[in-house]
Amino acid sequence: MSHEKHKFSSGWGFVLSAVGSAVGMANVWGFPAKLGSYGGSAFLIAYLVFIALFGTVGLSAEYAMGRRARTGTLGTYQMTWGSRKKSLGRAGGALGWLPLAGSLCIAIGYAVIISYVLKAFANSLTGALMRLDTAAWFESFSLSDYSVVPFHVIVVVGTLLTLLLGAKSIEKSNKVMMPLFFLIFLVIAVRVAFLPGAAEGYRYMFSPRWEELLDPMVWIWAMGQAFFSLSITGSGMIVYGAYLGREADVVSLAKRTALFDTIAALVAALVIIPACFAYGLDVGAGPSLLFVTLPRILQDIPLGRLFAIILYTAMIFAGVSSLQNMFEAVGESLLHRFPKLSRKAVLALLCVICLGVGLHMEPISKWGPWMDIVSIYIIPIGATLGAVSWFWIIPRQELMDEVGQGAGKAPGKAWYCVGRYVYVPCAVILCCVALFMKVAF
């Protein structure tokens, strides 16, 4: 594969693409739901602490290792473990299959929800979404088998086609759609501010309730959300790092990615939580926030149909950009592992797997358990495996040389110590809690 073809043309292009990968359902309903369910402002404080930590250390390490290996997950783990001892390279490559499986499993489940979003977009175009009972409409397809098959096929095939045409399409689409995503959510947040009862939502979000910080589960949920929101899964962000130039400052890019991802989460919360208080809805309702709450708000807004079309367009691109990252991580790794395969053959294989498994999971009753298994078992283990590999396996100087490459001021001993003695234990704790308490992030 030609890395010149897949190289990002600018730092901002990379950041918007990385933010596009990170911004998605975890921000639009995951963050508001957890903020609403686990202590409001206390959760927010804990979340910001972990975002700062993971964005500065964990995300930049994934970018750096991807750039050093110049390939996806399998090759990066093989390089990382082989740098400790050559014979360990094969073991590292084998371990890399686990986080890679995490990327594919998330992609399979993610494609279902993006199919729901595409259906909402289609109903916005016709105007039907502005007239119907949103709760009954959502139940009509989310509780039925094979209810969004045409949309599902369009999402999977369309996303894979963008990768066939070259990864620069990821950058180009995100340069347009991510700013639009932020703008539309800001406009809707302003409208929500004028709803009766919205003030209670703001009070819930921002009133200090310091006693909640004594609850360890608030910190656990905030940590899990930060890992998930930044896409630090030990796989996905590696491949974007592989397409960075040597002149790029990975720590600076990681910080910018974390900043804009957090802004997206906060803007989504400023829409969802006050609206839930205004309409008397459950803030922890999950997917229905996107398909019941938001349409209700849009029905009350002048030009609501137009806003709905633009909003769901932005959501489709935010979701597809996340899906692009997951598919690209798997595709690049398979091409590295099986060089005789063509890119077309790998993408066709991903299409068959994603649709073959995903079409059976269109009802929420099947989709939910699938995503629980992924978020309880595969993602935390992958994140932990990545953290250990970057800070305990690869020799310190090799990691520091790569992280310092292109930096105005190279990170020093403090950065490495935080990674090794704070970030890695956080990943291990998250993994243990998820596995032994069966907590789905």
For residue 368, name the pLDDT band (cuts at 50, 70, 90): confident
**Residue 126: how many other CB atoms lie within 10 Å:** 10
What value, to the nearest 5°, has the Cα angle with vertex 392 and ends 387 and 395?
120
For residue 167, name the pLDDT band (cuts at 50, 70, 90): low
Q: Rounded distance, CA 90 to CA 346, Å?
A: 22
Comparison of pLDDT for 262 and 23, the residue scoring more: 262
C-alpha distances in angstroms, 11 versus 8, 247, 251?
Answer: 8, 10, 12
* pLDDT score of 425: 96
Q: Rounded distance, CA 439 to CA 441, Å?
A: 6
* pLDDT score of 8: 67
pLDDT in tens, 198-224: 999 999 888 878 888 898 888 988 998
* pLDDT score of 3: 45
Comparison of pLDDT for 203 and 436, the residue scoring more: 203
Most confident by average pLDDT, 139-153, 173-187, 423-437: 139-153
Asked if the model's pLDDT at residue 5 lies above 50, the reply is: no
Most confident by average pLDDT, 168-182, 288-302, 339-353, 424-438: 339-353
93 near 75, Cβ under 8 Å? yes
Comparison of pLDDT for 229 and 91, the residue scoring more: 91
3-state helix vs strand vs coil in the chain, percent to 5: 80, 0, 20
Tell me the percentage of the chain whose pLDDT exceeds 70. Answer: 95
Q: Which amino acid is at 238?
A: I
Most confident by average pLDDT, 145-149, 236-240, 280-284, 321-325: 145-149
Q: Rounded distance, CA 235 to CA 298, Å?
A: 37
* pLDDT score of 2: 40
CA nearest neighbour of 336 among 242, 246, 244: 242
* pLDDT score of 377: 82
Residue 247 backbone dihedrals phi, psi, to 5 degrees: -80, -10
Segment 135-164 shows an average pLDDT of 92
Q: Which amino acid is at 176?
A: V
253 near 100, Cβ under 8 Å? no
Asked if the model's pLDDT at residue 289 lies above 80, the reply is: no
Comparison of pLDDT for 308 and 391, the residue scoring more: 391
| Tokens, residue 391 | 């800070």
| Tokens, residue 364 | 């929420």
How far apart, in Å, do the first and last CA atoms of the chain sit?
34
Question: Half-sphere exposure of residue 433, counting CA atoms within 13 Å on the CB side?
Answer: 18
CA nearest neighbour of 60 among 429, 391, 426: 391
129 near 308, Cβ under 8 Å? yes
21 near 238, Cβ under 8 Å? no
pLDDT in tens, 170-195: 677 777 777 887 888 888 888 889 88
Tell me the percentage of the chain whose pLDDT exceeds 90. Answer: 46
Q: Rounded distance, CA 441 to CA 438, Å?
A: 10
* pLDDT score of 281: 77
**Residue 320: how many other CB atoms lie within 10 Å:** 26
User: DSSP state, 432?
Assistant: H
**CB-based burial of residue 280 (10 Å sphere; 0-12 exposed, 13-18 middle, 19+ buried)?**
exposed
pLDDT in tens, 110-136: 999 999 999 999 999 999 999 999 989
For residue 236, name the pLDDT band (cuts at 50, 70, 90): confident
| Tokens, residue 200 | 């209670």
Indicate the range of 37-41, 134-138, 140-144, 285-289 predicted with least confidence: 285-289
Segment 379-405 shows an average pLDDT of 94
* pLDDT score of 165: 63
* CA-based radius of gyration for the chain: 21
Asked if the model's pLDDT at residue 253 lies above 50, the reply is: yes
Q: Which amino acid is at 119?
A: K
Domains of the chain: 11-437 (1.20.1740.10)
C-alpha distances in angstroms, 201 versus 128, 278, 281, 348, 399?
Answer: 29, 8, 11, 46, 44
pLDDT in tens, 56-115: 999 999 999 999 998 889 999 999 999 998 899 999 999 999 999 999 999 999 999 999
* pLDDT score of 168: 66
